[in-house]
Amino acid sequence: MKAMKLAATAASLSLMLGAGSAAHAQFYYAAPDLSTPPMTGAEPQLNLNLPGASADELKAGLLWHLRVAMNVAALQCDFEPSLLTVSNYNATLAHHRAELGNAYGTLQSYFTRVKGSSKAGTTALDVYNTKTYSGYSTVNAQKDFCLVVSKTGRDAIFADRGNLYQVAQKHIGEIRKALVPTGEQYFTNPGYNYRAVLPDFGKKCWKKDSLTSSCANAWKKNLAAAAPAPAAAPKQ
């Protein structure tokens, strides 16, 4: 009897503790796979837009794009507080301030070199920043973007100082992929791919509200062509 009371007390305590802890957001039963191999910055799908950049300048671009993506997520993803996009972003700025500052300085040097003067370089960097921020703003793919940046933020705040660029290399590819809408991967809705095959409603196909035989035959052919292929018989 005493053992049963202890077990009941332990179970109640477990429920109380569980109720007090925040659960992580889960938007899908089966989330899309957005993983990518590590990036160098030279990949065209990243849209770093730094032609002629050196390896160090590409690294700086990766870091700055990571910072921008996390900043946008802090502004757009706080509808779900358990994603921690705001606190992750603030902690990343504090923990990796020196590395991010060096990245910004490297980008300034790049644009000064490319544009030929400090003033023109500063203007070009401002334009680059504006375009970069716009490139990470999303509405249709908000769930994917917020989930991916939330996961990235956890890696960022635990990365050693000086190694934030490794987080950028690891995650920037999937962040870019997350800007394209996907959806639930486990459950499907056949209505999404359904297309009605209708007869021709032109005057030439109708006589006294009846479909002519030639148009009816053409409609049947279209129906047959659109029908899904029969499932293969199971192997004996």
Residue 183 lies in a domain: no
192 pLDDT higher than 80: no
Average pLDDT, integer, range 166-176 = 95
Could you tell me the pTM of the whole model? Answer: 0.69
The answer, yes or no, to whether residue 214 has pLDDT greater than 60, is yes
Same domain flag for 97 and 214: no
Question: Does residue 90 share a domain with residue 202?
Answer: no
Residue 31 lies in a domain: yes
| CA–CA separation, 44 and 29 (whole Å) | 32
Region of residue 52 (phi > 0: left; psi between -120 and 50: alpha; otherwise: beta): left
Strand partners, 207: 210
Per-residue burial over 73-103, b = 16 or more CB atoms within 10 Å of its CB, e = otherwise: bbebbeebeebbbbebbeebeebbeebbebb
- Other Cβ atoms less than 10 A from the Cβ of 11: the count is 10
pLDDT of res. 235: 56
Q: CA torsion sign, 197 to 198 to 199 to 203? A: negative
Per-residue pLDDT, 145 = 93
In terms of residue numbers, what domain contains 54? Answer: 27-177
Does 102 lie in the same domain as 49?
A: yes
Same domain (yes/no): 125, 201? no
Has residue 204 been placed in a domain?
yes
Reported confidence tier of residue 189, pLDDT bands at 50, 70, 90: low
**In 96-210, where does DSSP find H-type helix?**
97-115, 118-135, 142-158, 164-177
Residue 144 and residue 33 share a domain:
yes
Q: Mark whether 137 and 73 lie in a shared domain.
A: yes
Number of domains in the chain: 2
Same domain flag for 64 and 132: yes
Question: What's the confidence (pLDDT) of residue 9?
Answer: 45
Q: Rg of the chain over CA atoms, in angstroms?
A: 27
- Higher pLDDT pick, 91 / 12: 91
**pLDDT, tens digit, 9 for 90 and up, residues 13-61:** 443 434 333 345 677 777 778 888 999 999 988 889 999 999 999 999 9
- The answer to whether residue 7 sits within a structural domain is no
Say yes or no: 47 and 129 in one domain. yes
pLDDT in the model for residue 170: 95
Q: Is residue 21 part of a domain?
A: no
Q: Is the pLDDT of residue 127 over 90?
A: yes
CA angle 103, 109, 113 (to 5 degrees): 145
Do 46 and 136 lie in one domain? The reply is yes
* Domain co-membership, 206 together with 167: no
- Spatial contact of 153 and 70, defined as CB atoms under 8 Å apart: yes
In a domain, 209, yes or no: yes
Please check the confidence at residue 76 and state whether its pLDDT lies above 80: yes
- The per-residue pLDDT for 14 is 42
Judge if 164 and 125 occupy the same domain: yes
Same-domain status, 68 and 164:
yes
